[in-house]
Amino acid sequence: MANPLEALTVEQLRRRTSLKWRAYDADVLPLWVAEMDVLLAEPVATAITDAVGIGDTGYPAGVTYAEALAEFAATRWGWQLDTAHTAIVPDVMLGVVEVLKLVTSPGDAVVVNSPVYTPFYLFVEHMDRRVIEAPLSATYRIDLGRLETAFAAAVAGGRSAAYLLCSPHNPTGTVHTRAELLAVAGLAARHGVRVVVDEIHSPLVYADATHTPYLALPGTESAFAVLSASKAWNLAGVKAAVAVAGEVAAADLARMPEEVSHGASHLGIIAHAAGLRHGVGWLDELLAGLDSNRHLLGELLADMLPGVRYRPPQGTFLAWLDCRSLDLDGDAASIFLERGRVAVMAGAAFGTGGEGYVRLNLATPPQILRQAVQRMAEAVATR
């Protein structure tokens, strides 16, 4: 099988005009934002070019995306997704915002598991909700005791509250188990907290873990999930996502303004549906390449940066690196950038528990990964 991560050279990648490759100077290796260094899967590229060829670039319509997602979910996860309980949204984060508007009011609390994807904080606070953290355990698992404490605080005084769950988890790459998610559902029901799950990385799970769709579990009928093909098929620039409601939550989802769907890209819907329906072989090849990279990173760190602690992710293409033992005279991400010319994301931006960590994007050619770790090691050695 061809490894999609080995199709492009650094020189070819530097021709890109997207955020990953243009935010920093040309001598920087960008392993920060969650874009992948791959060509599009052929079925996806064909679907886009065919649409452009006939001028099919208008407003989105229909349930093509939801049907493609349902087919993928049934085959991949055994989840029978009801397309009648779905809505098109512009992307996952904007879909999360619109769902949170349905079940919370200004001043209400939204619980998150820190450290977590930075926009969770930014979007929630921008919509005038309060963030309450329920930090993960030392092994990056959901801490049910902390979560229950956070739920109790969130609903104090009779307030409505929501739990914004990242599954698989960004930045740690943790894939929550079925038992953990069932426990979450029980706690949420006990405290009257509405669960909203970001499952954008759900197709990107390795063979040593199993993704469990939250809405496939009993007791999740009042919850929501928001999914997209954008991460798995590298389609962040052609936006679209699907919000899915549990059976009880479907009435809430029906209150979402129809205009929200207009924010999705029609080309995005075409591309995402093509990936889900016809790009599964490419996805499997990608996962094999990412699996190789996550183990390669462990070998490189052990050889060149043994002070960095690293648990290979169970899902996503993100690596969460514990740099606290390096005893640096500053923020690790800043040192790697300034002295090593490698861009990663500073862990502190992900909330409580992120200080001293960095997030590194694995979805890059192996030769870039090797060069990046070597540069990071040299940056530490010259401090």
User: Which of helix, strand or coil describes residue 211?
Assistant: coil
pLDDT value, residue 1: 66
Span 100-152, pLDDT tens digits: 999 999 999 999 999 999 999 999 999 999 999 999 999 999 999 999 999 99
For residues 286-294, average pLDDT:
98
pLDDT value, residue 327: 87
**Which domains, from first to last, does the chain contain?**
4-42+280-381 (3.90.1150.10), 58-278 (3.40.640.10)
Span 58-76, pLDDT tens digits: 999 899 999 999 999 999 9
pLDDT value, residue 330: 86
Q: Is 237 exposed, middle or buried (0-12, 13-18, 19+ CB in 10 A)?
A: middle
Q: Which of 204, 165, 236, 215 is nearest to 76 (CA)?
A: 204
Span 304-363, pLDDT tens digits: 999 999 999 999 999 999 999 998 988 999 999 999 999 999 999 999 999 999 999 999
Do 229 and 269 meet the contact criterion of CB atoms below 8 Å apart?
no
Q: Residue 55 half-sphere exposure, CB side, CA atoms within 13 Å?
A: 0
Express as a percent the part of the chain with pLDDT over 90: 98
pLDDT value, residue 382: 81
* pTM check: above 0.85: yes
Confidence of residue 92 (pLDDT cuts 50, 70, 90): very high
Span 1-52, pLDDT tens digits: 699 999 999 999 999 999 999 999 999 999 999 999 999 999 999 999 999 9
Give yes or no for residue 383 having a pLDDT over 70: no
Do 356 and 332 meet the contact criterion of CB atoms below 8 Å apart?
yes
CA separation for the pair 110, 27 (Å, rounded) = 40
Do 48 and 273 meet the contact criterion of CB atoms below 8 Å apart?
no
Q: Which residue has the tokens 């093909």?
A: 229
Handedness of CA 92, 93, 96, 98 (dihedral sign): negative
CA separation for the pair 304, 288 (Å, rounded) = 24
